[in-house]
Amino acid sequence: MSAPLGITMGDPAGIGPEIIAKAVAESGGRAVVIGDVGIMERAVKLLGLSLRVKAVREPGEADFEAGTVEVVPATELPDDLGFGKLDARAGDAAFKYVERAIELALARSISAVVTAPLNKEAMHLGGHGYPGHTEILAELTGTKDYAMMLVAEKLRVIHVSTHVSIKEAVERVAPERELAVIRLARDSMRRIGIEDPRIAVAGLNPHAGENGLFGDEDKERIAPAVEEARGEGMDVSGPWPPDTVFSKAVRGEFDIVVVQYHDQGHIPIKLLGFETGVNVTVGLPFFRTSVDHGTAFDIAGTGKAEHSSIKAALKLARELAEEGSDR
């Protein structure tokens, strides 16, 4: 039997513990939470769920009894940790959950990692200056070529760059990076059963540069990578005008779109499926999926947080892990 999924709790002052508790209560399954027993007990009590919280030292000790959420403890936080507030203790804890999950995934004690949201500012206050989950995962696994992929019901996108300024995003548009992300797009689609994916590459500038009228980056940095990928036998086209390529993908003309920067990919995904979008880090030694929303400090502790996205992240992680085990 394959190893269970590992779910990191995210920022314990945010909605992560609540949405995890709701998802486990609703669907259960073979998954352990990597986090804090006391915080999980608080979330279960807050929601009035009939879940028992059980600590296990290692995922292999879990028995996945119905009505039980099993936690691999990575912290023991104090009772006075508040809801919805920036706290260095919470930021440090969120980092430690991811760190522990990476250790377990590399040891094959868990089959994939599903992450609840962390708060970047709190994490920085806790002494960990990473832009986000993706960069933590890449550095701690020694991964060079990686990318963020977002998945909604009718659209998939994969990013050339993510948590950087627009100025730096433009600087990162380079033929070698474009080709690396196109390859990651192909590989990620194959992992979900699309053997010969149709890949579109979005342009950087309006109208994909309009033959240099609106910038040379598209023809000088993106187009050469597309041509090289075609030479490798991939079904890839572009650069496409960014204002039309997503509608083509939604209509079924493409399986995935390579996007050039954070908002170019996040805006259409969140427009189509804010509550069900899933974030996937591709290129790692293991599969990682995540909710595509933040810690929602404004509603943390109220029990109102919607858990559709983490359910979708768990479902996709299971599919990826099963597909990967067959290869």
Helices 133-141 and 88-106, packing angle to 10 deg = 40
Write down the pLDDT at residue 327. 47
Q: What is the mean pLDDT of residues 18-22?
A: 97
193 vs 181, residue with greater confidence: 181
Q: What is the mean pLDDT of residues 139-143?
A: 96
Phi-psi map region of 212: left, alpha, beta (phi>0 left; psi -120 to 50 alpha) = left
Sign, CA dihedral 9-310-128-107, equals positive
325 vs 54, residue with greater confidence: 54
- The arrangement of secondary structure in 144-283, i.e. its CATH architecture, is 3-Layer(aba) Sandwich (3.40)
- How many whole angstroms separate alpha carbon 288 and alpha carbon 138? 11
* Mean pLDDT computed over every residue of the chain: 94
DSSP string, 26-82: HH--SEEEEE-HHHHHHHHHHHT--PEEEE-SSGGG----TTEEEEEE-----TTPP
Write down the pLDDT at residue 175. 97
**Which H or E element spans position 256?**
strand 256-259
Write down the pLDDT at residue 277. 79
Report yes or no: 72 and 33 within 8 Å, Cβ to Cβ: yes
Report yes or no: 285 and 141 within 8 Å, Cβ to Cβ: yes
Write down the pLDDT at residue 191. 84
Q: Please determine, for residue 324, whether its predicted confidence score (pLDDT) is greater than 60.
A: no
Q: Please determine, for residue 274, whether its predicted confidence score (pLDDT) is greater than 90.
A: no
**What percent of the chain clears pLDDT 90, i.e. is strictly above it?**
85
Write down the pLDDT at residue 230. 98
Q: Please determine, for residue 10, whether its predicted confidence score (pLDDT) is greater than 70.
A: yes
Kindly list the strands in the beta sheet with 287-291, ordered across the sheet, starting from the edge strand earlier in the chain: 52-55, 68-73, 31-35, 5-8, 112-115, 287-291, 278-282, 147-151, 156-159, 256-259, 198-202, 235-240
For residue 319, what pLDDT band results from cuts at 50, 70 and 90? confident
- For 101-136, what is each residue's pLDDT tens digit? 999 999 999 999 999 999 999 999 999 999 889 899
Q: Please determine, for residue 169, whether its predicted confidence score (pLDDT) is greater than 80.
A: yes
- How, if at all, do strands 256-259 and 278-282 pair? unpaired
| Fold classified for 1-141 | Isopropylmalate Dehydrogenase (3.40.718)
Domains 1-141 and 144-283 agree in fold:
yes
Which residues does 33 contact at the CB level (< 8 Å), separation at least 6? 6, 7, 8, 9, 20, 24, 40, 69, 70, 71, 72
**Which H or E element spans position 18?**
helix 16-27
CB neighbourhood size of 61 (10 A): 12
- How many whole angstroms separate alpha carbon 194 and alpha carbon 56? 37
Q: Please determine, for residue 228, whether its predicted confidence score (pLDDT) is greater than 70.
A: yes
- How many whole angstroms separate alpha carbon 218 and alpha carbon 310? 36
Structural domain boundaries of the chain? 1-141, 144-283
Output the six-digit token pair for 251: 């209509």
Which residues does 6 contact at the CB level (< 8 Å), separation at least 6? 31, 32, 33, 34, 59, 72, 101, 104, 105, 109, 110, 112, 113, 114
- How many whole angstroms separate alpha carbon 152 and alpha carbon 72? 30
